[in-house]
Amino acid sequence: MNILMVAPPGAGKGTQATRLAERYGIEHLASGDLLRHELAAGTTLGAAAKDYVERGDLVPDDLVMRLVLDRALVAAKHGGYVLDGFPRNRQQAEAAYAMTGQDEDLTLDAVVHLAVARDELRRRMLARASAGGRSDDQAAVIDHRLEVYDCQTEPLLDYYRDRGLLLTVDGERPIDEVTEGLFDVLDGVRAARHPADSRHPAR
Ligand code: ADP
């Protein structure tokens, strides 16, 4: 199974993606985590990405794609992936699509959108900040990340809806209920597209 998560910052992508990875035996690839790892390790790529991440801007496409695409290709050959935080704009989506070519293992099965209202997103990110979380969870940077999402990432929902891949789940419910909602819709996708895998529901 190959799954993308497209949702605003604070919507719970990371939490839910971890659970999807476990259930479907696929790899969780989070572009933000990969970038923060590069920053912490002080790599050249991390140094090039640092200012963008701290401002809440998108990191240039070529840097992110270098981190994500090869890993996604490998994961796709080993059962699949859930990509969290990538693609985040139309160019990234098209580059990813171009790369998949005609290879069936690489085809996307579903794009998951977690719908959460703006006030709730802000509240969650500020709560994460006061719990000692990320340096980009400050009020001004949070607002900027939400604007970047609206301008650059949200338009991807139509792109994937037009391709018949978009599944929207209410992300404001309690965490376990969101997970159940996702399992419900994605179990259906798996049964339709990968019937052999669905015969092993223990995962
Ligand atoms: P969130 O979605 O909660 O804001 P992430 O952990 O997904 O957080 O991303 C943190 C930051 O990493 C983003 O604000 C951005 O600077 C950078 N980033 C992550 N994924 C991408 C991407 N696909 N393209 C460009 N920048 C990205």
Residue 19: predicted pLDDT: 98
Q: In b/e form, how buried is each residue of 77-113, taking b as 16+ CB within 10 angstroms?
A: eebbbbbbbbbbbeebbebbeeebeeeeebebbbbbb
User: 92 CB under 6 A from ligand 1?
Assistant: yes
Sorting pLDDT into bands at 50, 70 and 90, what band is 98?
Answer: confident
> Stretch 117-122: mean pLDDT, rounded?
96
Nearest CA to ligand 1 atom 3: 9
8 A C-beta contact, residue 56 and residue 153: no
**Least confident segment among 52-56, 100-104, 106-110, 126-130:** 100-104
Residue 43 vs residue 96, higher pLDDT? 43
118 part of the active site: no
| pLDDT at position 18 over 70 | yes
pLDDT tens per residue, range 135-170: 788 889 999 999 999 999 999 999 999 999 999 999
Q: How far is ligand 1, taken at its centre, from the CA of residue 154, in Å?
A: 14
- Catalytic residue, chosen from 88, 124, 163, 193, is 88
Instruction: Tell me the C-alpha distance between 109 and 187, whole Å.
Output: 11
User: 153 CB under 6 A from ligand 1?
Assistant: no
User: 56 CB under 6 A from ligand 1?
Assistant: yes
Nearest CA to ligand 1 atom 2: 9
Nearest CA to ligand 1 atom 19: 32
**Beta strand 27-30 pairing with 166-170:** unpaired
- Catalytic residue, chosen from 19, 55, 128, 161, is 128
Residue 40: predicted pLDDT: 96
